Structure 1
Amino acid sequence: MRWVIMLGFLLVNPLAMSAIHAQSDEAWRAQIQTQPLSEVVIERSQSFAAEVISPNKTQLASELNARVLRIYTRPGQRVQQGQPLVELDCQDTQLQAERLIAQRQQNQASLSLAQSTQTRLAQLQNRDLAALSQLDEVAAQVQQLQAQGDILAVEQRLNARQIERCTIKAPFTGSVLTHHVGEGQWVNVGHPLLELLQTEQAEISTQLPFSWLQSLDHTRPADLNARLQVRGLDDLDLQLIRQAPHIDPNSRTVQVWFNAPTDLPIGLSGQVRLTHPQPFLPAQVIVQRGQAFGVFTLEDNQLRFRQLQGVQEGRPHTLPADWPDNLLIVTQGQQRLTREQAND
């Protein structure tokens, strides 16, 4: 009977209803705290062990059967691209070059004589003073000498290449790791002479767990911001060079390579920190109401429930692009709020 009387009182007294709503409104306002969106969002990042590696580590070998005449470098020495490293004894090859020059000169002299004879016979044959067979014979001799000259020219180019092989030069800028021969030692074709490590255009290699990439909904590291962190050095922004097209079956990782904007010592180790390019809403501000996930906000002094699509419970969620930085997010007390209290 008392409840009936109270209900009747409320129905006939709108001022009492307003007072109750005001008390309810004041109740949720007293139990929440808000922060601007710019202070709430987080970055998703993680660090992985990385190492500075050389793009080339080469073992230079002899291309000739010869004796080592001179070694111009020492282990650990820095060398420039094109710098002579080892000299082989090529006196025989150089003498062959001189002989080919003499043979070319002899051939050229014989060819000049044959061409002069051919010209005179052609003039005599026009006056019927020489047989046509004589002219044909000299013409054949001219062609033969020209062919011999071409052969000698090829032999000279081959000889020049052999002489080039007598001096082993650095194919790139780097440092000498070790020598495999000494001066005066006889080497055959393919015998290792020294090892060279490229020190320019160094790369930074790391392995990323594929499960971590999946957790970001990004399996392309190129979409992530990368920085190299090394103790004692300023952080360096990195750029992805390439990504292995496969997943390692044993470690379930993807290997990636970055370039560095400055020269770094080969073998330097550090951490590559990868950061998702988009900000995230932390999991603690996301609540579930019924089948919907979302965030409670305070807009125009009114409580509102903003729904989010594709939320995975307990994990941060990508911030929608159209949410303003000054949007007030309920960061405390959101678990006790209901959608009925919000003006959706």
Structure 2
Amino acid sequence: MKYLLPIFLGLASPLAAVAAGEPDPLLEPVAASSIEQPGRVARGVLRARGQAVLASEQAGRITAMPFAEGESFAKDDVLVRFDCSGYQAQRDAAAAAVRAASEELKNKQQLAALNSVGRFEVALAEARHAQARAEAQVYQVQTQRCVVKAPFAGQVVARRVQPHESVASGAPLLEIVDNHSLEIHLLVPSRWLGQLQPGQPFTFIPDETGKPLAATVKRLGARIDEGSQTLLLIGTLPADAQGLLAGMSGTARFADQP
């Protein structure tokens, strides 16, 4: 009997604490919010439709990067500027060559009207003029590539290079994202396929905020993954959703079909 007394006291202690109004850690996990509600659930992540890693289209030295990590920019803002003095000089030289070829062509055409030169010399002047214009366009394009403009409004995720560095053609420069164009990407069981359709509502709760969002099925994936037997589902967020960032994960809940 003396061995049963400690066991009885050990059982009575938590009950006495509850009766006295003190919280019991053994009962805390059984909270109302943690009890699973009816419906089908799936995990998902927020992804931005507008996201990109911008790369250099030519080799050169960076002179300016106005936006740092986390800063916002508007569409067509200059994100990266290169030293363009060499290309600008080539562009100016090509423009001068175009003017010279144009004057030569005019002179040959006037002489041809007076029967002082033959048709061959006029055609040769036309070819030189066309070649000069083509070369000028090449240098104009190279000059335009000395600045990298924002393809959409967004924020800088990460700088891959820094001002005053020299980079090769094709080198990554900036990673950018538009957090105003977020979508919900879910992997749902393939057996749900017959019960899902575009426009169907569901609830998405981001882990970071804990606030339920009224989402809608936008479209379904084109193929079922053979290994996991899951299907990609893409949903839209409400227009007034605030404080969301790409990469947030959460839980989606679909109501059971009658």
Shared fold (TM-score greater than 0.5)?
A: yes
- Which amino acid in the other structure matches residue 183 of structure 1? P
Q: Unpaired runs of 5+ in structure 2?
A: 1-37
Alignment of 1:188-227 (within 5 A): 188-211=168-191, 213=192, 218-222=194-198, 224-227=200-203
**Residue in structure 1 matched with residue 98 of structure 2 by the alignment:** 104
Distance in 1, Cα, partners of 2:152 & 2:199:
32
**Residue in structure 1 matched with residue 204 of structure 2 by the alignment:** 228
- Which amino acid in the other structure matches residue 162 of structure 1? Q
Specify the SS of the correspondent of 1:222: coil
Q: 1:150 aligns with which of 117, 127, 130?
A: 130
Specify the SS of the correspondent of 2:148: strand
- Please tell me whether the aligned partners of residues 177 and 194 of structure 1 are also in contact (alpha carbons under 8 angstroms): yes
- Please tell me whether the aligned partners of residues 210 and 219 of structure 1 are also in contact (alpha carbons under 8 angstroms): no
**Residue in structure 1 matched with residue 33 of structure 2 by the alignment:** none
Distance in 2, Cα, partners of 1:77 & 1:223:
34
Deviation at 1:91, TM superposition (A): 0.8
- Please tell me whether the aligned partners of residues 244 and 254 of structure 1 are also in contact (alpha carbons under 8 angstroms): yes
Deviation at 1:258, TM superposition (A): 1.0
- Please tell me whether the aligned partners of residues 214 and 237 of structure 2 are also in contact (alpha carbons under 8 angstroms): yes
Deviation at 1:98, TM superposition (A): 0.7
**Residue in structure 2 matched with residue 91 of structure 1 by the alignment:** 85
- Please tell me whether the aligned partners of residues 51 and 267 of structure 1 are also in contact (alpha carbons under 8 angstroms): yes
**Residue in structure 1 matched with residue 226 of structure 2 by the alignment:** 249
- Which amino acid in the other structure matches residue 126 of structure 2? Q
- Please tell me whether the aligned partners of residues 47 and 182 of structure 2 are also in contact (alpha carbons under 8 angstroms): yes
**Residue in structure 2 matched with residue 237 of structure 1 by the alignment:** 215
Specify the SS of the correspondent of 2:198: helix
Deviation at 1:257, TM superposition (A): 0.8
Deviation at 1:219, TM superposition (A): 4.7
- Which amino acid in the other structure matches residue 215 of structure 2? D
- Please tell me whether the aligned partners of residues 183 and 234 of structure 2 are also in contact (alpha carbons under 8 angstroms): yes
Q: Kindly tell me: are residues 58 and 115 of structure 1, through their superposed partners in 2, closer, same or farther at Cα, counting changes over 3 Å?
A: same
2:40 paired with 1:46: yes
2:114 paired with 1:120: yes
Name which one, 1 or 2, has greater alpha-carbon Rg: 1
Deviation at 1:84, TM superposition (A): 0.7
- Please tell me whether the aligned partners of residues 213 and 237 of structure 2 are also in contact (alpha carbons under 8 angstroms): no
CA RMSD of aligned residues (A): 2.3
Deviation at 1:272, TM superposition (A): 2.1
Overall identity of the aligned pairs, in % = 23
- Please tell me whether the aligned partners of residues 239 and 260 of structure 1 are also in contact (alpha carbons under 8 angstroms): no
Specify the SS of the correspondent of 1:141: helix
- Please tell me whether the aligned partners of residues 229 and 236 of structure 1 are also in contact (alpha carbons under 8 angstroms): no
Alignment of 1:313-324 (within 5 A): none
**Residue in structure 2 matched with residue 67 of structure 1 by the alignment:** 61
Specify the SS of the correspondent of 1:76: coil
- What's the TM-score once normalised by structure 2's chain length? 0.75
- What's the TM-score once normalised by structure 1's chain length? 0.57
> CA offsets, 1:235-254, max 9 Å, x none?
323232x3223322333221
Deviation at 1:184, TM superposition (A): 1.6
Distance in 1, Cα, partners of 2:134 & 2:173:
29
**Residue in structure 2 matched with residue 164 of structure 1 by the alignment:** 144
Deviation at 1:265, TM superposition (A): 2.4
- Please tell me whether the aligned partners of residues 203 and 260 of structure 1 are also in contact (alpha carbons under 8 angstroms): yes
Q: Unpaired runs of 5+ in structure 1?
A: 1-43, 122-133, 281-344
- Which amino acid in the other structure matches residue 237 of structure 1? A
> CA offsets, 1:246-283, max 9 Å, x none?
3223332212111223254223333322235x6x3xxx
